[in-house]
Amino acid sequence: MKKGNLIIKNAAELVTCSGFKQKKGKEMSDLMVISDGAVVIENGIITKTGKTEDVIVGLKQADYHVIDASDKAVLPGFVDSHTHFIFGGYRPEEFSWRLRGDSYMDILKQGGGILNTVRATRKASPEELATAGKKRLDSMLSFGVTTVEGKSGYGLDLETELKQLTVMQELNDNHPIDIAQTFLGAHAILPEYKNREDRFIDFLIDDVLPEVVSNNLAEFCDVFCEKNVFSIEQSRRLLLKAKEAGLKLKFHADEMVQLGGAELAAELGALSADHLLQASDRGIKDMAKAGVVATLLPGTAFSLKEPYARGRTMIDNDCSVALATDLNPGSCFTESIPLIIALATLYMNLTAEEAITAMTINGAAALGRQETIGSIDHGKMGDLIVLEFPSYMYIPYHLGVNTVEKVIKNGMLVYEKSSSPDRSSV
């Protein structure tokens, strides 16, 4: 990917989210905003931040692409740290069944849901998956996402798991968004493994994990630990093997039923535990102590009409909370960052500041990338967004509407809203 030299100046708010590690509890409230701010990016890396008058003194502006961000807020690019964005087919009928009252887990039990997407993903060619994946990445980019996590898990066989991960790797090489790849072979139980779930875990450990690791196709391993899917014991067994093989751990934990997933994530030293709608008090304390990022996906609770995760309680207990979309064709089909932030503030009682921290530096921490992305700091990658409005507060306030005007990746302008009223500086 190309790397640029860029100055953004006169920002009404330069929302730095400054820091190189996860923010816990009260630390999440301070966005370290610089008014009338400027940032300099050289060769794709942030080299200077501060008040505009201090930053631009002595700089030869003709050597840079210059963006005047008067009356606009500038933020770090968003990090969407939990998605399933590579998949074949769609499941609109499942949405209509849920409107009628069927539950997500019942649909899966009857061979639909994830298993429906598994059938379509097995059938799809790599090119078809890549074309659909690129469209979704383009949409995410327009919402200000500059790094996304993507999971396998719609193959449940060696060939298709590798196909999904290989498609992501190619997209990573060819799309401005950086992709962090997760092996989620333990995503659902195929009918032929019903009541033989341990044999499926054996298959993943013996036949799939070694291929994923030796081909360098994933950085993380994840498990859908849930009643009628994989148990705590099965999850522990696979995740320990993945850790031994050098993968970092993420974990679908305590979504519908309280199984002790948050506690297991803490026990194993996972980078993140995700969903957590039913996380116990003990689990919340364990995550805070172990530094596991509690990754909350309120779009999924909204879409499934489930109770929201206890985000407020987690932050009050000194957890590090991240927010992500969970984009997938079943439980939450959205790329919308403003929807997630609106839900987090209005229904999980996060402040706007905490929600922005959760979408930036803590999203980066959920991917182990807190030292290189997620904030506007000297030495980090030049990944930024410019809003159409003068404050980050417009993100939750302008309910569900995309306020992103420009997206910068590695110092290059990679997206600009076509209807943007101010194009004079470009």
Using CB under 6 A as the criterion, which residues of the chain lie in contact with ligand IZC when the complex forms? 84, 113-114, 117, 224, 252, 328-331
Q: How far is the CB of 154 from ligand IZC (least distance, A)?
A: 7
d(CA 335, CA 273): 20
Q: How far is the CB of 252 from ligand IZC (least distance, A)?
A: 6
Residue 70 in tokens:
């008067």
CB closest to ligand IZC, residue no: 330
d(CA 104, CA 114): 10
CB 385 within 8 A of CB 404: yes
Q: How far is the CB of 330 from ligand IZC (least distance, A)?
A: 3
Q: How far is the CB of 332 from ligand IZC (least distance, A)?
A: 7
Q: Closer to ligand IZC at the Cβ: 183 or 224? A: 224
d(CA 98, CA 106): 10
Q: Closer to ligand IZC at the Cβ: 283 or 330? A: 330
Residue positions counted in the chain: 426
Q: Closer to ligand IZC at the Cβ: 64 or 333? A: 333
d(CA 207, CA 190): 16
Q: How far is the CB of 329 from ligand IZC (least distance, A)?
A: 6
* Residue 285, phi then psi, degrees to nearest 5: -65, -40
Q: How far is the CB of 370 from ligand IZC (least distance, A)?
A: 25
CB 350 within 8 A of CB 344: yes
Residue 272 in tokens:
């993140």
Q: How far is the CB of 46 from ligand IZC (least distance, A)?
A: 35
Q: Where are the alpha helices (DSSP H) in 92-231?
A: 92-100, 104-109, 114-123, 126-142, 158-174, 197-203, 209-214
Residue 104 in tokens:
């997500």
Residue 273 in tokens:
């535990």
Residue 180 in tokens:
């962090």
Q: Closer to ligand IZC at the Cβ: 23 or 151? A: 151
d(CA 212, CA 360): 28
Q: How far is the CB of 185 from ligand IZC (least distance, A)?
A: 13
Going by C-beta distance under 8 Å and a sequence separation of 6 or more, which residues neighbour residue 302?
332, 339, 343, 347
Q: Closer to ligand IZC at the Cβ: 64 or 200? A: 200
CB 308 within 8 A of CB 347: yes
Q: Closer to ligand IZC at the Cβ: 6 or 118? A: 118
Q: Closer to ligand IZC at the Cβ: 116 or 360? A: 116
